[in-house]
Structure 1
Amino acid sequence: MSLLVLGLSHHGTPIELLEAAALDQQSRGRLESAIVGSEHVVEAVVVSTCNRTEVYAEGVTFHGSLTAVSESLAAATGVPLTDLQPHLYVHYEDRGIAHAFSVAAGLDSMAVGESQILGQLRDALSRAQRRGHVGPALNVLLQQALRVGKRVHTETGIDDVSRSLVSAGLALADVVVGPVAGARVLVVGAGGMGALAATTVTQAGAESVTVVNRGLARAERLAERVDGVAIPWNERADALSDADIVISSTGATGVVITARDVEDARLERDGRPQLFIDLALPHDVDIAVADIDGVTRIGLAELGEILGRAGDVPHVREARDIVTGEVAAYLTERSAEAVAPTVAALRSRAKEVVDDEMTRLERRTPGLADADRAEVQRAVHRIVEKLLHAPTVRVKEMAQNGQGGSYARALSELFDLHPHDVSVVSTPPVLRSVDDEEGAR
Structure 2
Amino acid sequence: MHVIAVSLNHNIAPVEIREKMTFDDENLPQALKTLRHSKSILENVILSTCNRTEIYVVCDQLHTGRYYTKAFLSEWFSIKQEKFASFLTIYENEAAINHLFNVACGLDSMILGETQILGQVRDAFILAQEEGTTGTIFNELFKQVVTLAKRAHYETGIDESPVSVSYAAVQLAKSIFGSLKNKRVVILGAGETSQLTAKHLQSNGVKAITVINRTYENAVQLASSLKAKALPLTHLQEAMTECDILISSTGSKQYIVTLDIVQPLIKKRKGRHLFMIDIAVPRDIDPALDELENVFLYNIDDLQKIVDDNLTERKKIAKTIEGMIVDAIAEFDTWLTTLGVVPLISALRTKALSIQAQTMSSIERKLPDLTERELKVIRKHTKSIINQMLRDPILGLKESATEPEAKQVMETFIKIFAIEEEVAREKDKQIVSKTSTESKEVKGSRSTNKQFAEIPLRP
TM-score normalised to structure 1 length: 0.61
Give, in angstroms, the shift of residue 185 of structure 1.
3.3
The one-letter code of the counterpart of 1:436 is: Q
Give, in angstroms, the shift of residue 30 of structure 1.
4.1
Quick check: 2:344–2:423 contact (8 Å CA) kept in 1? no
Match of 2:445 in 1: 431
For residue 186 of structure 1, give the secondary structure of its aligned residue in structure 2. Answer: coil
Answering whether residue 189 of structure 2 is matched by residue 185 of structure 1, we say yes
Deviates more, 1:42-51 or 1:349-358: 349-358
Give, in angstroms, the shift of residue 47 of structure 1.
1.0
Matched residues, number? 355
Give, in angstroms, the shift of residue 349 of structure 1.
2.1
The one-letter code of the counterpart of 1:419 is: A
Could you tell me how far apart the structure 2 residues matched to 1:135 and 1:385 are? 29
Match of 2:144 in 1: 144
The one-letter code of the counterpart of 1:155 is: E
Quick check: 1:198–1:209 contact (8 Å CA) kept in 2? no
Match of 1:83 in 2: 83
Distance change in 2, residues 1:319/1:401 (3 Å): farther
Distance change in 2, residues 1:29/1:164 (3 Å): farther
Distance change in 2, residues 1:26/1:407 (3 Å): farther
Q: List aligned pairs for 1:36-75, cutoff 5 A.
A: 36-75=36-75
Match of 2:290 in 1: none
Give, in angstroms, the shift of residue 319 of structure 1.
1.4
Quick check: 1:112–1:310 contact (8 Å CA) kept in 2? no
Quick check: 1:223–1:229 contact (8 Å CA) kept in 2? no
Distance change in 2, residues 1:361/1:217 (3 Å): farther
Structure 2: segments with no counterpart, 5+ residues:
171-184, 232-246, 257-281, 283-307, 371-378, 434-439
Q: List aligned pairs for 1:304-323, cutoff 5 A.
A: 313-323=315-325
Distance change in 2, residues 1:190/1:62 (3 Å): farther
Quick check: 1:339–1:399 contact (8 Å CA) kept in 2? yes
Distance change in 2, residues 1:404/1:182 (3 Å): farther
The one-letter code of the counterpart of 1:59 is: C
Give, in angstroms, the shift of residue 105 of structure 1.
0.6
Could you tell me how far apart the structure 2 residues matched to 1:166 and 1:402 are? 54
Identical-residue share of aligned pairs (%): 23
Quick check: 1:104–1:149 contact (8 Å CA) kept in 2? yes
Deviates more, 1:84-93 or 1:193-202: 193-202
Deviations 1:73-131 (A, max 9, x none): 12233432123223322223333222222111101112110111022223323433444
Quick check: 2:98–2:325 contact (8 Å CA) kept in 1? yes
Could you tell me how far apart the structure 2 residues matched to 1:22 and 1:73 are? 10
Give, in angstroms, the shift of residue 386 of structure 1.
8.6
The one-letter code of the counterpart of 2:119 is: G
Distance change in 2, residues 1:386/1:195 (3 Å): same
Deviations 1:213-269 (A, max 9, x none): xxx999757445xxx559xxxxxxxxxxxx9748xxxxxxxxxxxxxxxxxxx9xx6
Give, in angstroms, the shift of residue 158 of structure 1.
0.9
The one-letter code of the counterpart of 2:451 is: D
For residue 110 of structure 1, give the secondary structure of its aligned residue in structure 2. Answer: coil
Q: List aligned pairs for 1:39-438, cutoff 5 A.
A: 39-161=39-161, 163-164=163-164, 184-186=188-190, 196=199, 199=202, 208=211, 222-224=226-228, 229=230, 245=249, 271=253, 313-353=315-355, 391-399=393-401, 407-408=409-410, 411-412=413-414, 415=418, 416=420, 417-422=422-427, 430-432=444-446, 434-438=449-453
For residue 107 of structure 1, give the secondary structure of its aligned residue in structure 2. Answer: coil
Deviates more, 1:412-421 or 1:353-362: 353-362
Distance change in 2, residues 1:194/1:131 (3 Å): farther
Quick check: 2:186–2:210 contact (8 Å CA) kept in 1? yes
Quick check: 1:105–1:152 contact (8 Å CA) kept in 2? yes
Quick check: 1:184–1:206 contact (8 Å CA) kept in 2? no
Q: Which has the larger radius of gyration?
A: 2
Give, in angstroms, the shift of residue 54 of structure 1.
0.5
Quick check: 2:166–2:197 contact (8 Å CA) kept in 1? no
Could you tell me how far apart the structure 1 residues matched to 2:142 and 2:156 are? 21
Could you tell me how far apart the structure 2 residues matched to 1:346 and 1:49 are? 46
For residue 25 of structure 1, give the secondary structure of its aligned residue in structure 2. Answer: coil
Match of 2:260 in 1: none
Structure 1: segments with no counterpart, 5+ residues:
171-180, 231-242, 247-265, 275-293, 295-305, 371-376
Match of 1:253 in 2: none
Give, in angstroms, the shift of residue 154 of structure 1.
0.3
TM-score normalised to structure 2 length: 0.59
Could you tell me how far apart the structure 2 residues matched to 1:420 and 1:314 are? 51
Distance change in 2, residues 1:110/1:412 (3 Å): farther
